[in-house]
Amino acid sequence: MQLTRFTDYALRTLTFLAVQPGDRLSTITEVADTFAISRNHVVKIVHQLGIKGYIETVRGKHGGIRLGRSAVSINLRDVVMDMEHVLCPVDCKRENCRLSGGCRIQGILRRAMNAFLEVLGEYTLADAVRDPTRLCHLLGIEQDSTLVMA
């Protein structure tokens, strides 16, 4: 299973926000620059994460983005399922496959996808950012003793 870049960048954005000091607001530009992602792409990701309640967006001159709830309450399976448009690895009907109706590959792949999602369901964003000091160093973020981890 390979996630779309959209989902990959959504997970990176959440990770970035999870290791921010205190209740600090970050900007879309900071996220885009940190991961070398198009700012326009980050705008779309932030919009979707905001709709789903993973992040909070604050408008205005001193606005920005931050986690909308605690990292421990953000399940990675939920994020992937909310960000991915298609979770079926193969769509035999769309491809007009001549094996459709007699092939077992689609069922096997569906089972593998379910196992993948089941494992993701065992982890939260807090699990993914368990070593905030290292992540802050990798991201070039000055660490504060009051990280948004709860």
Is the pLDDT assigned to residue 41 strictly greater than 50? yes
- The predicted pLDDT at position 147 comes to 46
Q: Report pLDDT for 28.
A: 96
Token reading at 56: 């909070």
d(CA 13, CA 45): 8
Look up tokens 């939260």; give the residue. 124
From start to end of the chain, where are the E strands? Answer: 55-58, 64-67
| Mean per-residue pLDDT of the chain | 88
What is the reported pTM? 0.84
pLDDT digits (tens, 9 = 90+) for 42-61: 999 999 999 999 999 999 88
* Euclidean distance between CA atoms 111 and 120, whole angstroms: 14
pLDDT value, residue 1: 66
Q: How confident is the model at residue 12 (pLDDT cuts 50, 70, 90)?
A: very high
Q: Supply the pLDDT for residue 32.
A: 97
